[in-house]
Amino acid sequence: MKRILSTLALAALFAPAAMAQAVTCPDKNVNYWQAFPPGGESDLSARHQQVVLKKKCPAVDTIIQYKAGAGGALMWTQMNTLPADGANVVGVNLPHIVFQPIQGDVQYKTADVTPVFWFHFTPDILVVPEQSPIKNFADFIKAAKASPGKLSLGGSGQNSANHAAHERMNKAFGVKTIYVPFKGTGDMATSVMGAQVDGAMTYTAFAINNKGRIRPLAVAMEKRHPLMPDVPTFKELGVDWVDGAYRGIGVPKSTPPAERKRLSDLWRALNNDAEMKELAAKSGFELVNVGVEEMDGFMATKVKLYTDGAALLNLGKK
């Protein structure tokens, strides 16, 4: 009897951990739709998830498909026309899905987008080409003030996180630089590294993955990034700025709650995988876990934050 009770106690102790690791795999292949072209952070994160999902669900293939345009708005406008079968997921981004409808030149509203899991965050970072005469942030500010409206900075999309960060930097440091929107970070890369633009307001992943080809000047983090210990934070430079872009997955609005929950749990399991953590760290992604249980509160907070930010940036004002 003691042995039986001991066994039952051990089972009760370890059951929650076992259940937490359990994964309900899809019963068919997953179509993973991307709102940006190949080569950017959204694509890289999807590739990481593709690898780990195959390990957890060997019978399932993740088919990554691209429908890029309008800074992601083309895909997000059409996502509710996809089959609501739990086998179609769409990459979604914050603050893009808040900023774009406020600006008013897209065909969707924030409420039309149904996120089911936010999996990581990439901090803002200011970079210049490696061959640039600008060696540090002080040089950048000096050059920007010497020739207002001359320096050009690339970014991923119009009315995107990069665009907002660009405007925020101009205002915070009293400079005027020109924002040059690209379809995505992948499209932007050649122009930055080839010095066709003077630099970029981008994300830590871009800086880390192009080490030696670009020079990071300042990052929007609480503390310096461990892979870029020589790069100061904006907070060190006198501006309370810790921000960037969130990436997650969404589904067509008519997707049943049970399928939303299954996908949320599946992506949480991917995020908690040791290989995923390693891949994310190497690429400069800061993992977060916001599933369907936390979604309403998270979105309410973010929508208010970005709505207030859009007003400060004059988005939506012609």
pLDDT of residue 318: 58
State the Rg of the chain over Cα. Answer: 21
pTM: 0.77
pLDDT of residue 2: 43
pLDDT 10s digits, 126-168: 999 999 999 999 999 999 999 999 999 999 887 778 888 999 8
pLDDT 10s digits, 40-66: 889 999 999 999 999 999 999 999 999
pLDDT 10s digits, 116-135: 999 998 999 999 999 999 99
